[in-house]
A and B are shown apart, each in its own frame.
Chain A
Amino acid sequence: MPDMLSSDTLSLLFAVLVFPGGLFALCVGLVLKGLDRRLAARLQRRVGPPLLQPLFDLVKLARKRTLVPDIACKPVFLAAPMVGCVSMALAAALIPIPGVYDPDPLLGDLLVVLYLLAVPAVALMIAGSASGSSYGAIGFSREMALMLAYEGPLLMVLVTVAIKTGLAQGGVVTFSLSEIVRYQQEHGAYLADPWMWPAFLAFLAFFPANLGIAPFDIPEAESEVLEGPLLEYSGPPLGLFKVMSALKAVVVLSLGIALFFPTAPAGAPGLLVHLLKLGVLSLAGVTVLRTAIGRMRIDQAVLFYLKWPEALAIAGLAAVLTLA
């Protein structure tokens, strides 16, 4: 191809690697994680680590030795964290920052985001089974069970928002995130509409499991399965998994913002508002929850997801379909 490095390709690469994917999302993710650890410490009446502690951890991991178990499948063992990181950097470039960044339709839409969101969980599962450790295998089966339980509500929430936007625009369904954000910028956020609350609650219930935080950090529970799939990892590959989870937090929280309350001014204030929303959603939805509740058992968690978020998501979908 003659125009391999045209300005379009360059801007796509920039979006994936620097802003809003890659570097930018990583910085935001690490700061969110630092805020989370600090607030959790304050809620437990402790001082807590410095704000940049997740960054210090990453730098330290980059300098440690990489150990690969004898019985591990080495190429898969080392490739799994990279696959996870790349998928999340790509997903971060797919999600609009209202008023600031509009993803190129070439990159993909909501359906691509849905598939990319499943990749880190699959990477963890593959990592667990490639490590050859029995704890990794337990982590694998737990991650799989949990994923089957939470993907249903997620899919329904995404479809609910897509149908609501599509119908309002005179079509049937819109999977373009830019369209969804633009419609809400013009007609007000979906969060202001009580009929969308069930879907929003289902989304709130979905993200602790996807991000692997208490009470749903069952696959990586360090006190029972010794961090499961991550057990055999050390040094840089473990650091890549930390990068993956930081990026994933930004992707999932930004997706929530884009779907339910994207209204924001254009330009630099829009970016500030976006960061503020990310912080509030992360502190209220993640930190308070994880300090307040202990870990569930895997069977309780699966049942919980099959009951409540599923019911809420169905109610949300039904509300949108009947009111149309």
Chain B
Amino acid sequence: MSFIARISQRSPWLYRINAGSCNGCDVELATTACIPRYDVERLGCQYCGSPKHADIVLITGPLTLRVKDKVLRLYEEIPDPKVTVAVGICPISGGVFRNSYAVAGAIDRYLPVDVNVPGCPPRPQAIIEGIAKAIDVWRERL
């Protein structure tokens, strides 16, 4: 791998999409796992406010019917190469919301998911491990 490629894989930027989550996983992402306490910034990660800056997408929540189109549109706006991480049990199976009339169903029917981090909510350590795995996947696509 060239020097440039080796350098650029050290800067994966994160973007969060809330696909109808109860906010539990988002709290884990925003306040415990990622920045202040367990610190994914040492892996070079950084939250960005715009989908166009992102490399790794963290999706939480069961895909509800109401946000489905918006989530798919947001996903399209993220420039390649990108990696998708499903955080929590909801994007995998629907979790406690699985039989709801308002839920569109497992997210991997609509988007390619690369890493699953199950849990309700997942432990911060698990989220960080998921991000580390996503970085490995991203490295190969870069």
Taking beta carbons and an 8 Å cutoff, which residues of A are in contact with B?
37, 41, 44, 46-50, 53, 55-57, 59-60, 62-65, 67, 222-223, 225-227, 230-235, 238
Main secondary structure of the interface of B (DSSP, over half): loop
Q: In the complex, what distance in Å separates the CA atom of A323 from the CA atom of B46?
A: 51
Interface assignment of B41: CB less than 8 Å from any CB of chain A: yes
Chain B residues proximal to chain A, CB less than 8 Å:
4-5, 7-11, 13, 35-37, 39, 41-42, 44, 46-50, 52-53, 55, 77, 79-80, 142
Instruction: Say yes or no: A41 contacts B39, CB within 8 Å.
Output: yes
The residue from B4, B13, B47 contacting A59, defined by CB atoms under 8 A apart:
B4
Which residue of B5, B9, B52, B142 contacts A233 across the interface (Cβ within 8 Å)? B52
- Name the contact of A49 in the complex, choosing from B36, B42, B47, B52 (C-beta under 8 A): B42
Q: Chain A residues near B11 (CB, 8 Å)?
A: 53, 56-57, 59-60
* Contact, CB under 8 Å: B80 / A46: no
B79 to chain A minimum Cβ distance, whole angstroms, is 4
Task: Assess the B36–A56 pair: CB atoms within 8 A.
Answer: no
- For A41, what are the chain B residues with a Cβ–Cβ distance below 8 Å? 39, 41-42
Q: Which residues of B contact A67 (CB under 8 A)?
A: 52, 77, 79
Chain B residues with CB under 8 Å of A37's CB are: 41
With A and B bound together, what is the CA distance between A37 and B80 in angstroms?
A: 27
Q: How many A-B residue pairs have CB under 8 A?
A: 87
A155 to B109, CA, bound (A): 59
> Does A49 contact B44, Cβ atoms closer than 8 Å?
yes
Q: B50: which of A64, A65, A231 is its contact (CB, 8 Å)?
A: A231
Q: Which residues of A contact B47 (CB under 8 A)?
A: 222
CB distance from A273 to the nearest CB of B (A): 31
Q: What B residues does A235 contact at CB under 8 A? A: 79
Given the known interface contacts A50-B44, A53-B44, A63-B142, the answer about A227 and B39 at a Cβ–Cβ threshold of 8 Å is: no
**Are B42 and A48 in touch, CB under 8 angstroms?**
yes
Of A56, A63, A227, the contact of B44 (CB 8 Å cutoff): A56
Contact between B39 and A232, CB atoms less than 8 A apart: no
Chain A residues lying within 8 Å of B48, measured Cβ to Cβ, are 222, 227
B45 to chain A, nearest CB (A): 8
Q: How far is the CB of B57 from chain A (nearest CB, A)?
A: 14
Most central of B41, B77, B142 by chain A CB within 10 Å? B41
Q: Give the complex CA separation of A227 and B49 in angstroms.
A: 6
Contact between B7 and A59 (Cβ–Cβ < 8 Å)? yes
- Are B50 and A230 in contact (CB-based, < 8 A)? yes
- A75 CB to closest chain B CB (Å) equals 19
The answer to whether B36 touches A44, judged by C-beta atoms less than 8 angstroms apart, is yes
**Pair A56/B41 contact, Cβ less than 8 Å:** no
